[in-house]
Amino acid sequence: MACLSAIIKWVLPILVALYGVYYWQFIASRRYFTSDVVLDGKTVIVTGANSGIGRVTALDLAKRGARVILACRNLQKAEDVAKDIKSSTGNSEVVVRHLDLSSLQSVREFAQQIIETEDRLDILINNAGVAAAAMKAGAVTKDNFDFVFGTNHFGHFLLTNLLLDLLKKSALKRVVTVSSLAHERAPQPNMTREDPSVANFLYPHLENYPLSKLANVLFARELARREKASGLISTSLHPGAIFTPIWKTIVDHRSPIRGVMYYMFSPLMWMLFIDETAGAQTTLHCALDESVAEFSGKYFDNCAEYEPSTFAQDDELAKELWTVSCEATGLKC
């Protein structure tokens, strides 16, 4: 009893105080995009819009009057989300299109459909992504790339380039690529291509989540440099540490025991991570804030420019990645 009394008297107040500091610094300090920007007559594509911050982003854009295209792999989930968005916003211009970023053929088919059916594209939000922990070891895309890197980078790289002409003839001309603070853990990329007849991956060293997120930042930077004259604005961002359903996907994939652990630790994750609404705010800032036009090529966190890793600021590395990505996706660059 004496020990319990001491914990209640001394330890608990200290933990509460420490959490108060943490909450104030990392959660309460999150900025929200509060501008009343109206998007009537504008068209936006959000990849991975059927859950998480993609869903919140699509909902916000629909509220502003945009025609929002949910580009998703799971059509049923996407249709359900589209129905909910239409119901809550009164905006009937919310449509679903199939896009599997792990397949270059799917990316090409999606882009062709958009080009044939849409007369404009003002904003492209490269939001979709997969985590290595949610995949089986050695998983590859249909094109023989590491599944995580192929989906997170090569898929979005091809998608953006195929839609570039449509973007450039529209009003806002913005490409927003969701990266992660995890890019800071990535080593310098080894972009050596292997013989597909003898290697597991075409690019065996491009194979993890931090590298894919570094590639996102480098891609956004190089796109901005290449399109400076056209007026296209390209940015990348860290959305924050978010409590989303992806955590359940990760632990359930690993083992039933970890699935139980997810439910055990959910209250703690809820306390330490920001919610999906807060996580979508930097995406919205990059997509809609007028001031961002002055920061094309930059990386953002918490609705403000933020300095990325040293590798992420390497222009020569960005150019090399662009060349490799053109070769990998079959683009003529």
Catalytic residue numbers, as ranges = 209
Question: What is the C-alpha to C-alpha distance for residues 195 and 65, in angstroms, rounded to an integer?
Answer: 49
Neighbours of 196 (CB within 10 A): 11
Helix 256-272, helix 246-254: angle, nearest 10: 150
Angle at 200 (CA atoms; ends 195, 206), nearest 5 degrees: 85
Cα 137 to Cα 149: distance, rounded to the nearest angstrom: 13
Q: What's the CA gap between 55 and 229, in Å, rounded?
A: 32
Give the contacts of 163 (CB within 8 A, at least 6 positions apart): 45, 111, 114, 115, 121, 124
Residue 18 CB contacts under 8 Å (≥ 6 apart), including other chains = none
